[in-house]
């Protein structure tokens, strides 16, 4: 098991069923199943679950762009526009960097359904901080 996979055990990623498809410095892709475990009371995908997926992808991409022996990244702001209701099936999130700086990074995350229709679009800002500051 890779160190990255070990970090995912017993986390929100496991709870939500988030699975990585691709992870590079310039693009992170993951899927999340949609069903009762991520529904809000009216039976559709909870916006908070979409935001959790978005921040997971943005944080992963940002983390891959720093020297992990020296720095880590922490989310400092996220916004999301929920564009389409989703009751079941699968969503796929794709994160790409807007800005990769020395002290901050900004990532855009697009979440789509199986047909490629947008479900949510999000932007996440992350701070790059020294490991000891965690």
CATH number of the domain bearing residue 93: 3.10.129.10
Quick one: pLDDT at residue 40? 96
pLDDT (tens digit, 9 = 90+) per residue, 27-36?
999 999 999 9
Quick one: pLDDT at residue 1? 41
DSSP state of 42: T
Range of the domain at 21: 3-133
In whole angstroms, give the CA distance from residue 38 to residue 86. Answer: 10
Three-state SS at 41? coil
- Average pLDDT by stretches of 10, the chain with 134 residues: 56 94 97 97 98 98 97 97 98 98 98 98 98 70
Q: Which residues are catalytic?
A: 55
In whole angstroms, give the CA distance from residue 45 to residue 104. Answer: 30
**pTM, entire model:** 0.92
Quick one: pLDDT at residue 10? 73
Query: What domain count does the chain have?
Result: 1
């Amino acid at each position: 098991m890779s160190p990255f996979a070990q970090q995912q055990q017993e986390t929100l990623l496991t709870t939500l069923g988030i699975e990585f498809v691709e992870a590079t410095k310039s693009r992170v892709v993951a899927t999340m199943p949609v069903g009762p475990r991520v529904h809000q009371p009216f039976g559709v995908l909870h916006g908070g679950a979409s935001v959790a997926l978005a921040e997971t992808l943005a944080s992963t991409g940002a983390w891959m762009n720093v020297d992990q022996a020296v720095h880590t990244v922490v989310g400092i702001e996220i916004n999301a526009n929920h564009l389409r209701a989703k009751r079941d099936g699968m969503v796929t999130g794709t994160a790409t960097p807007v800005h990769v700086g020395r002290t901050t990074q900004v990532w855009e995350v697009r979440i789509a359904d199986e047909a490629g229709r947008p479900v949510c679009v999000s932007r996440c800002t992350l701070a790059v901080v020294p490991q000891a500051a965690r």
